[in-house]
Structure 1
Amino acid sequence: MPIKIPNNLPAAHILEGENIFVMDSDRAYSQDIRPLKILILNLMPIKYITETQLLRLLGNTPLQIEVDFIYTESYTPSHTPQEYLTEFYGTFAEVRHKKYDGMIITGAPVEMMPFEEVAYWDEISEIMEWSKTHVYSTFHICWGAQAGLYYHYGIPKYQVPEKIFGVYKHHLCVEHEKLFRGFDDEFYVPHSRHTENHREDIEKVPELTILAEAEGDAGVYAIANLKKRQFFITGHAEYDPLTLKQEYDRDEKAGMNPKIPQNYYPDDDPTKKPVVRWRSVAHLLFANWLNYYVYQETPYVLDELYKEEDD
């Protein structure tokens, strides 16, 4: 089944070129089906890149999905034209009366700052509070995961001595968890961050379960409040094959002397083509989230979501 996205969204042409089934709004309205409604709070500066990465994964399932994008009013991104935001994005004020089957909160290039010093912290805090009664399952990625853990559970982040950068081997910490159904005993996921959450802080919160972690210095990878269907993912399974290369080349050109991403280039040689080890992981992770924690459990009449809390 296709993913429904706004008419003329640039990501549509990229996805169609990859044989991902997409459907514009006009065609979707002609189908008699109840699509899953997914809200994406895109905090990344170059919006279309993150859109394409996420839509590629959301669109590769048997489900029809309708996506709304929002950005923060309290901080307007400088790398995306306002005309683009006006055409394809809304604001929280425009969607706060709605309810959603699922929500994705992306990473953001602000991880070195204390949460309270981020320009849009008050706004994203309001959105995360709202998500508790208006979204059936919320999927937080990288800084979005750290922000969610801090806001909901008071779990701090810590700066690491050296950037966590590369493709790391992971293993599961629990058995028979639906989010990781079909995963191998070992699997690889990219990470790119300067901060981390500590296992001991997470283990102090009874509602949270550590689902998976990485070997080496990448630490905890997936944390969840399974009862509330909140997921906090510290890595970037959605990354494109060349995303880490682009970060490395950018920092090398800027004279920052970056370390070579781990487990990425053959023989750690940046002149060679990177090896993609995480593509199947990404598709399975998002498909499992959509199927087991959104589609299978969310009420058919979405307005009835958390109806008792509203009354």
Structure 2
Amino acid sequence: MAHAPVKETCLVPIRIADNLPARRTLESEGVIVMGESEAARQDIRPLRIALLNLMPDKITTETQIARLLGATPLQVELELLRISGHVSKNTSAGHLAEFYRPWDEVRTEKFDGLIVTGAPVETIAYTEVTYWDELRQIFDWSQTHVHHTLTICWGAMAALYHFHGVDKHPLEEKASGVFPHWNRAPATPWMRGLPDVFDVPVSRWSEVRSADVPASAGLTVLAESDETGLSLLADPAHRALHMFNHLEYDTLTLAREFARDEGAYVPRHYFPGDDPKANPLNTWRGHGHILFGNWINQVYQTTPFDLADIGELVGA
């Protein structure tokens, strides 16, 4: 595979709409963003990354993901997607209409990468989720129209259930906090550069258990925690990574969840001394940048240059 050379003076990483709220946040943090006219002058093919955002607060999630994608030295064109038949109650219709495309509109298009977020439906059976049928179609579509997929939290659980029949288990209490995780595959492209033990934010009401993962599925455990179990699986047969936790989280995301849930639980290992009045310290920011950077780099290294060939190659 041959990519057009990247000019050293034109390393501009992420292309998003000029008036997307995330743009102002990213610019204030020093993340380089670009508009359509600037992108047109680049003599390279940008990576087309679709974000299927299933979270209620879509603006926060799109900002978190764009921040990590924008930290790489590759030009990324981010396409925001939503479930076609589902109406979000927490994001304005105007924002969705202006910045999001329903999946039905893009189902004939091809993408280098697809990110599927979590969703607050962990306590509901998959088949009872209102958009489950469409999500199953999207997972199947990713096998022919997407080069590599990254699923997050409930999105990862749903993908594992769809592709491998591995069900989730409800937890007696919410797994919430920042937990140390073992790097089980440091030599793989996905985990390269991550420490042997690294912190990961966790926020979920369900879990996938190692004992339920069939040995014949070809899945590789990349990261796991002694306290909260599986965290990251490689699924080469479906060109996917499944991450059950939240390396994309901001410093205060868990604090906002704690306030939203009126202190029903205190996120563990998050507030200094487990004191909710203390300001949390971000101990995972670099780990998130490394993982997303590794994913983007591997997508870039293995995706066909011709978009029409995407989905034809396996084992990337």
Report TM bin, short chain: over 0.9
CA contact (8 A) 2:51 2:81 kept: yes
| 2:300 matched residue in structure 1 | 295
Q: Secondary structure at the match of 2:258?
A: helix
Residue identity opposite 1:297 in structure 2 = T
CA deviation after TM superposition for structure 1 residue 227, in Å = 4.4
Aligned partner (choices 269, 272, 275) of residue 269 of structure 1:
275
Query: Deviations for 1:96-120, whole angstroms, at most 9, x for unmatched residues?
Result: 1111100000000111100010010
Query: Deviations for 1:254-299, whole angstroms, at most 9, x for unmatched residues?
Result: xxx522111111111111100111000000000000102x000001
Query: Is it true that 1:237 corresponds to 2:243 in the alignment?
Result: no
- Rounded Cα–Cα distance in structure 1 between residues aligned with 2:173 and 2:233: 23
CA deviation after TM superposition for structure 1 residue 46, in Å = 1.2
Query: Is it true that 1:147 corresponds to 2:158 in the alignment?
Result: yes
Q: Secondary structure at the match of 1:192?
A: strand
Query: Is it true that 1:93 corresponds to 2:99 in the alignment?
Result: no
Query: Deviations for 1:182-220, whole angstroms, at most 9, x for unmatched residues?
Result: 01111000000010001011144432111110121x110
- Rounded Cα–Cα distance in structure 2 between residues aligned with 1:48 and 1:88: 10
Q: Secondary structure at the match of 1:174?
A: coil
CA deviation after TM superposition for structure 1 residue 26, in Å = 2.6
Residue identity opposite 2:269 in structure 1 = N
Note the 1:8-27 alignment, pairs <5 A.
8-27=19-38
Aligned partner (choices 206, 213, 220) of residue 217 of structure 2:
206
Aligned partner (choices 251, 256, 261) of residue 261 of structure 2:
251
> CA 1:23 to 1:83, structure 2 compared with 1: closer, same or farther past 3 Å?
same
Note the 1:31-70 alignment, pairs <5 A.
31-70=42-81
Residue identity opposite 1:219 in structure 2 = G
CA contact (8 A) 1:138 1:231 kept: yes
Q: Secondary structure at the match of 1:249?
A: helix
TM-score (norm 1): 0.95
Q: Secondary structure at the match of 2:256?
A: helix
TM-score (norm 2): 0.93
CA contact (8 A) 2:247 2:287 kept: yes
Aligned length: 303
Residue identity opposite 1:301 in structure 2 = D
Query: Is it true that 1:306 corresponds to 2:311 in the alignment?
Result: yes
CA deviation after TM superposition for structure 1 residue 225, in Å = 1.2
| 1:170 matched residue in structure 2 | 181
CA contact (8 A) 1:153 1:205 kept: no
| 1:106 matched residue in structure 2 | 117
CA contact (8 A) 1:3 1:21 kept: yes
CA contact (8 A) 1:212 1:220 kept: yes
Residue identity opposite 2:255 in structure 1 = K
| 1:120 matched residue in structure 2 | 131
| 1:282 matched residue in structure 2 | 288
5+ residue gaps, structure 1: none
Question: Aligned-pair RMSD on alpha carbons?
Answer: 1.4
> CA 1:182 to 1:308, structure 2 compared with 1: closer, same or farther past 3 Å?
closer
5+ residue gaps, structure 2: 1-11
Residue identity opposite 1:272 in structure 2 = A
Residue identity opposite 2:265 in structure 1 = K
Displaced runs of 4+ in structure 1, greater than 4 A?
Answer: none
CA contact (8 A) 2:53 2:82 kept: yes
